Amino acid sequence: MHSMTLAEIARGLADKKFSSEELTKTLLARITQLDPQLNSFISLTEDLALQQAKAADARRANGENGALLGAPIAHKDLFCTQGIRTSCGSKMLDNFKAPYDATVVAKLAAAGTVTLGKTNMDEFAMGSGNESSYYGPAKNPWNLERVPGGSSGGSAAAVAARLLPAATGTDTGGSIRQPAALTNLTGLKPTYGRVSRWGMIAYASSLDQGGPLARTAEDCAILLQGMAGFDPNDSTSIDEPVPNYSASLNGSLQGLRIGVPKEYFGAGLDPRIAELIHDSVKALEKLGAVIKQISLPNMQHAIPAYYVIAPAEASSNLSRFDGVRFGYRCENPLNLSDLYKRSRGEGFGSEVQRRIMVGAYALSAGYYDAYYLKAQKIRRLIKNDFMAAFNEVDIILGPTTPNPAWKIGDKSSDPVAAYLEDVYTITANLAGLPGLSMPAGFVDGLPVGVQLLAPYFQEGRLLNVAHQYQLNTDWHTRTPTGF
């Protein structure tokens, strides 16, 4: 029962093969048994889950039928959940119970999902290995000594280990696609503005976007359907009709133009990953796609630009955590300045402090033009590269990450080494484009992902290509031993 996809669960519930309550109890028991190895959850919400499952069963008994009605999921612990701890992976918010539900949480609950818990993550979503979490690292079910990716590492580890079929994540520079790649999942970062950010604790507001993590493209379509849509509470939400994503899965790939950027295959890419990406290109060619080499000439500037813009926005967003209004407050402050300093010094971990300092520096008078403004100009060049490429092709394809999952701790003394892992993912965030990662094979028993990028609001096209690929390959069905 635990290995069913969302689509299979929806069919099973509709055919009355089992109830949502039975399924929820099975998965909660499995989480209790296996999660100690993985540390993929920060909080379990058993009572809420059983209550939601019973309510979903009652709605089905009344003749309602929806793909998400009674489907168990979990939320990355930066989506606000009313009355439930929303820690953002930080000591700063360890005692924070959100006073309201994020739009994504509310929409999915209304569609009938069952929330099993809140998943582990890098502190304030800063990281790519889930190693900066105050609650300790989540582990990769494919190899428990290795990272599951980050920052949505807990969601990825839990779904990959079949603790549940799907979970929410957020992607500021790759945090849905990269953990999907490292754990053999399908993960989709939607177009900026497609999914509401209201109640999603901000890291870098111009880059953050929520999206689904699941095992198949078909399931990503189902979960995205429940998350997407205009939200008047989010001023960056875009009022654009939401297509039927499941209906887009079956289009033919005949004549689809796929662009493969030559810059994606330079130094730094594990040659074994390059080979698997070429295999996936061949598989898509067999389905009728036409392959074209393209160029994204400004890609080399993406990491430096991102690591100015994201910390700059973070330094501003995180100024609200001051020991007065939210979260952690130090003991016995001597005065106001001591209260600020010690609450922030004790409440934030070292990666978050590093980003706040880098960001505050980049925004300071005298340096703003040299760093922040320059980075914004690079951002425009990167967007222009994509616009030019999408005049010639329908989809851009390349690796999701340059390497498979690394050993926990291996990159902790060298933050830049971890930043370099984001080289293929952050350009989509800088340009606001949708991107998807899907399983493409294994290197030394560790999963590898292939990334697809599409023009604005073409999530359906990404899901279509991924679904057709998954009908013709079986990488996404592989299960980690022991789970």
**Which residues make up the interface to ligand GLN (CB under 6 A)?**
125-128, 151, 171-175, 203, 310, 422
**Shortest reach from residue 86's CB to ligand GLN, in Å:** 16
Q: How far is the CB of 21 from ligand GLN (least distance, A)?
A: 34
DSSP-derived secondary structure letter, 220: H
Q: Which one from 19, 43, 151, 280 is the annotated catalytic residue?
A: 151
State the minimum distance, in angstroms, from the CB of residue 177 to ligand GLN: 9
- Whether the CB-CB separation of 435 and 452 falls below 8 Å is answered with yes
Catalytic residue (choose from 40, 76, 132, 152): 76
Minimum distance from CB of 269 to ligand GLN (Å)?
17
Determine whether 139 is an active site residue.
no
DSSP 406-424: PBTTTTTT-HHHHHHTTTT
| Beta carbons of 119 and 43 less than 8 angstroms apart | no
Token pair of 187 as six digits: 């993960």
Nearer of residues 114 and 352 to ligand GLN, judged by Cβ:
352
Count CB neighbours of 417 within 10 A: 12
Q: Which is nearer to ligand GLN, 127 or 259 (CB)?
A: 127
Q: What are phi and psi of 85, to 5 degrees?
A: -50, 130
Q: Which residue lies nearer to ligand GLN by CB, 23 or 125?
A: 125
User: CB 439: neighbour CB atoms within 10 A?
Assistant: 29
- Residues in a beta bridge with 442: 447
- 3-state SS, residue 127: coil
Establish whether 175 is a catalytic residue: yes
Considering beta carbons, is residue 135 or 203 the nearer one to ligand GLN? 203
Radius of gyration of the chain (CA): 21
Minimum Å gap between C-beta 302 and ligand GLN is 12
- Determine which one of 175, 196, 237, 315 is catalytic: 175
Q: Which is nearer to ligand GLN, 126 or 296 (CB)?
A: 126
Tell me the three state secondary structure of residue 377.
Answer: helix
**b/e string for 209-232 if b means 16 or more Cβ within 10 A?**
bbbbbbbbbbbbbbbbbbbbbebe
- CA distance linking residue 237 with residue 226, whole number of Å: 15
- Catalytic residue at 76? yes
Tokens 């539900």, residue located: 101
* CA dist., res. 468 & res. 448, Å (int): 18
In whole angstroms, the minimum distance from the beta carbon of 137 to ligand GLN comes to 14
Non-local (6+) Cβ contacts of 16 within 8 A are: none
Residues 6+ away with beta carbon under 8 Å from 287 = 253, 254, 468, 469, 472
Q: Which is nearer to ligand GLN, 137 or 259 (CB)?
A: 137
CB of residue 122 to ligand GLN, shortest distance in Å: 7
Q: Which of 69/303 has CB closer to ligand GLN?
A: 303
Q: Give the residue numbers annotated as catalytic, written as ranges.
A: 76, 151, 175
